[in-house]
């Protein structure tokens, strides 16, 4: 079977604007959470969010490219530029070879709402100009990046709620494995503007620990009170192993397993059995046992029920092995559509630098987590195998296994 | 609003928003071939003209508008 490796990663998140900034934040256990005053003004129950600045793209992109990019597309552009540089792939290479893109994204709310507001005021759609249509579709990230980078392979957006980014990597791996593509830009993007998360806030899913923003996201902690929304973008360049070797690429890791499932149950609640199936399938796909996993990057978002369901599944598979577990969402908040991809980037950074980033704010273990080896402080450790979980609304589950490459 | 002001307003938009080189903005310049204004750019020009001058550009009236000078003429005539 064709093997699939990672030859480039890029990140733009509330932990930093590039790989090195993010690696340092992960190592330091630094939170990227803060308060967004616009959310208070708008009527949010909780103004907590991951804080990141939009990149200044004028020196980097022409006008047409810039005005078609929504916020999440800007982040995805930055992450992809870094990942391509990391993979030593330039525009000449992209022009001369078939490269695909599969990127996770599940909203572009601001573009839709802004265009609607303008039309409501003017009663005239043409006043919107030419940007909003290309910003407001769910596939905004892939339609823009495929144009900017002149991509000629598979080209589509994966919309699977908070598992979008993870599925994009799993599906990319599948296409490469089966010989349909050699190189695919995968990833996930998430907008962070106040218009994008109002309805999520409306179901009281967010933490209201407003007086302590950096302590608000506390997966598996007894006193967790909800998730903190966040965003940015993460890009993972997937490549067929022999193709990467022939190109002389630096191989950062191997995507060895992908497992998925659908709960077929409640629209908002996670499921221990559904997530267990995804994890087991990922391990089988990677041809490894649970005992061989060195680190689990949990989905755990800091909600009462979500973390508890995942903990049940983790207990079944990993409690006997005392496998180290952390949720980087304790620092980033929940990066939603981006999370499955960013957590592969975070895990890959940890693998490359031999440490486990902490599950910060894990102060009083919840009953569900007492038998799990949750890592509360940075742990220096060699990591050969990582399992990364991502679950989303509608019961979509994805689990990925990445490994250090063994030639 | 006099013609000079209209021309200046249009030119400022072309330079600052569409990033057209100022040196290219002569009256005989062809919108498509010389200034590289494509159909999507024209959507933005139409939106700007509507916002700034309160007139609506109709695509069917633009068939014979090929040069910058013809475009100035069109906008001036619509305003008047």
pLDDT tens digits, one per residue of A116-164 = 999 999 999 999 999 999 999 999 999 999 999 999 999 999 999 999 9
In sequence order, what are the residues at sequence separation of 6 or more whose Cβ sits closer than 8 angstroms to the Cβ of residue A406? none
Which chain A residues have a beta carbon less than 8 Å from that of B59?
none
Nearest to A70 by CA among A182, A185, A195, A175: A195
Q: Annotated catalytic, A162?
A: yes
Which residue in B19, B40, B56 is closest to A130 by CB distance?
B40
DSSP three-state, residue A254: strand
Would an 8 Å CB–CB cutoff place A58 in contact with chain B?
no
In sequence order, what are the residues at sequence separation of 6 or more whose Cβ sits closer than 8 angstroms to the Cβ of residue A153? A98, A99, A100, A101, A181, A183, A184
Q: What is the pLDDT of residue B58?
A: 86
Q: Work out the minimum CA distance from A193 to partner chain B, whole angstroms.
A: 24
Which residue in B17, B19, B47 is closest to A128 by CB distance?
B47
Options A68, A167, A186, A299, the catalytic residue: A299
Number of other residues whose CB lies within 10 A of the CB of residue A352: 15
Would an 8 Å CB–CB cutoff place A129 in contact with chain B?
yes
Rounded CA gap, A348 and A29, in Å? Answer: 16
In angstroms, the Cα distances linking A196 to A15, A73, A200, B60, B75 are 20, 14, 8, 38, 39
Nearest to A340 by CA among A236, A268, A238: A236
Nearest to A214 by CA among A332, A70, A335: A332
In sign, the C-alpha dihedral spanning B52, B53, B55, B56 is: negative
**Best B47, B53, B61 residue to mutate vs chain A (most A CBs within 10 Å):** B47
Q: Which residues of chain A, if any, have pLDDT below 50?
A: none
Q: Work out the minimum CA distance from A295 to partner chain B, whole angstroms.
A: 49
Options A167, A243, A309, A334, the catalytic residue: A334
Would an 8 Å CB–CB cutoff place B47 in contact with chain A?
yes
Q: If you compute the radius of gyration of chain B from its CA atoms, what whole number of angstroms results? A: 11
In sequence order, what are the residues at sequence separation of 6 or more whose Cβ sits closer than 8 angstroms to the Cβ of residue A58? A66
DSSP three-state, residue A185: strand
Q: What is the pLDDT of residue A407?
A: 61
In sign, the C-alpha dihedral spanning A196, A202, A203, A208 is: positive
Q: Do A130 and B56 touch (CB under 8 A)?
A: no
Q: What is the pLDDT of residue B59?
A: 82
Q: Work out the minimum CA distance from A63 to partner chain B, whole angstroms.
A: 7
pLDDT tens sequence across A310-328: 999 999 999 999 999 999 9
Which chain A residues have a beta carbon less than 8 Å from that of B51?
127
- DSSP strand E in A243-288: where? 253-262
Rounded CA gap, A29 and A18, in Å? Answer: 16
**Best B20, B43, B51, B52 residue to mutate vs chain A (most A CBs within 10 Å):** B43
Which residue in B19, B43, B56 is closest to A129 by CB distance?
B43
Number of other residues whose CB lies within 10 A of the CB of residue A379: 17
Rounded CA gap, A4 and A402, in Å? Answer: 10
A·B CB contacts under 8 A: 27
Length of chain B: 80
Phi, psi of A42 (to 5 degrees): -75, -25
Q: Work out the minimum CA distance from B27 to partner chain A, whole angstroms.
A: 23
Domains of chain A: 4-403 (3.40.47.10)
> Which residue of chain A comes nearest to B20, CA vs CA?
A63
In sign, the C-alpha dihedral spanning A382, A293, A226, A9 is: positive
pLDDT tens sequence across B55-78: 999 888 888 999 999 999 999 999
Options A68, A162, A186, A336, the catalytic residue: A162
In sequence order, what DSSP letters do the residues of A86-101 get, joined into one string?
Answer: HTT--HHHHHHS--EE
Q: List beta partners, residue A373.
A: A324
Would an 8 Å CB–CB cutoff place A124 in contact with chain B?
yes
**Domain limits for position B38:** 3-79
Place of tokens 């250090």: A404
Rounded CA gap, A157 and A186, in Å? Answer: 10
**Best A67, A130, A147 residue to mutate vs chain B (most B CBs within 10 Å):** A130
Which one-letter DSSP state was computed for residue A180? S
A127 within 8 A of B50, measured Cβ to Cβ: yes
Q: Annotated catalytic, A299?
A: yes
Q: Can you read off the two tokens belonging to residue A171?
A: 């599906």
Length of chain A: 407
Number of domains forming the structure of chain B:
1
Which chain A residues have a beta carbon less than 8 Å from that of B41?
64, 130
Which chain A residues have a beta carbon less than 8 Å from that of B40?
64, 130
Q: Do B41 and A130 touch (CB under 8 A)?
A: yes
B28 within 8 A of B71, measured Cβ to Cβ: no
A217 within 8 A of A302, measured Cβ to Cβ: yes
Q: Work out the minimum CA distance from B30 to partner chain A, whole angstroms.
A: 20
Q: State the CATH number of the domain containing residue B32.
A: 1.10.1200.10
Rounded CA gap, A365 and A359, in Å? Answer: 11
Would an 8 Å CB–CB cutoff place B28 in contact with chain A?
no
Q: If you compute the radius of gyration of chain A from its CA atoms, what whole number of angstroms results? A: 20
Rounded CA gap, B40 and A346, in Å? Answer: 39
Rounded CA gap, A399 and A284, in Å? Answer: 11
DSSP three-state, residue A112: helix
Which chain B residues have a beta carbon less than 8 Å from that of A130?
40-41, 43-44
Q: What is the pLDDT of residue A34?
A: 98
Number of other residues whose CB lies within 10 A of the CB of residue A353: 14
Rounded (5°) CA angle A193-A338-A272: 120
């Amino acid at each position: 079977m064709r093997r699939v490796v990672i030859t480039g990663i890029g990140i733009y998140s509330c932990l930093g604007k590039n790989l090195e900034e993010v690696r340092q934040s992960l190592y330091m256990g630094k939170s990227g959470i803060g308060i967004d005053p616009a959310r208070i003004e708008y009527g949010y129950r909780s103004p907590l969010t991951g804080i990141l600045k939009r990149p200044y793209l004028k020196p980097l992109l022409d006008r047409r490219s810039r005005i078609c990019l929504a916020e999440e597309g800007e982040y995805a552009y930055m992450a992809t530029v870094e990942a391509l540089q990391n993979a030593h792939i330039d525009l000449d290479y992209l022009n001369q070879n078939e490269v695909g893109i599969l990127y996770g994204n599940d909203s572009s709310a601001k573009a839709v709402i802004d265009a609607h507001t303008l039309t409501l005021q003017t009663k005239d759609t043409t006043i919107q100009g030419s940007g909003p249509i290309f910003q407001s579709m769910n596939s905004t990230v892939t339609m823009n990046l495929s144009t900017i980078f002149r991509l000629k392979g598979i080209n589509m957006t994966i919309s699977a709620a908070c598992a979008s980014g993870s599925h994009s990597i799993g599906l990319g791996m599948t296409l490469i494995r089966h010989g349909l593509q050699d190189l695919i830009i995968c990833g996930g993007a998430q907008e962070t503007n106040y218009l994008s998360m109002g309805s999520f806030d409306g179901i009281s899913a967010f933490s209201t620990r407003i007086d302590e923003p950096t302590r608000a996201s506390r997966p598996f902690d007894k006193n967790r009170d909800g998730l903190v929304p966040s965003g940015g973008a993460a890009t993972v360049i997937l490549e067929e192993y022999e193709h990467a070797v022939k190109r002389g690429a630096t191989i950062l890791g191997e995507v060895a397993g992908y497992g998925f499932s659908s709960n077929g149950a409640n629209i908002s609640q996670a499921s221990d059995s559904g997530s267990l199936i995804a994890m087991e399938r990922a391990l089988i796909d990677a041809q490894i046992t649970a005992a061989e996993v060195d680190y689990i990057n949990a989905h755990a978002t800091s909600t009462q029920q979500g973390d508890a369901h995942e903990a049940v599944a983790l207990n079944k598979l990993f409690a006997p092995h005392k496998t180290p577990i952390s949720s980087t969402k304790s620092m980033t908040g929940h990066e939603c559509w981006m999370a499955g991809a960013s957590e592969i980037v975070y895990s890959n950074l940890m693998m490359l630098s031999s440490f486990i980033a902490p599950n910060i704010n894990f102060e009083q273990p919840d009953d569900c987590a007492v038998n799990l080896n949750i890592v509360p402080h940075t742990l220096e450790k060699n990591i050969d195998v990582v399992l990364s979980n991502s679950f989303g609304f509608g019961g979509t589950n994805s689990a990925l296994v990445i490994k250090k490459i063994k030639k | 609003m006099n013609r000079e002001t209209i021309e200046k307003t249009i030119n400022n938009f072309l330079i600052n928003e569409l990033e057209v080189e100022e040196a290219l903005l002569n009256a005989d310049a062809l919108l498509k071939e010389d200034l590289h204004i494509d159909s999507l750019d024209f959507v933005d020009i139409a939106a700007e003209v509507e916002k700034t001058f309160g007139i609506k550009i109709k695509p069917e009236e633009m068939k014979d508008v090929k040069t910058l000078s013809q475009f100035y003429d069109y906008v001036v005539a619509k305003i008047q």
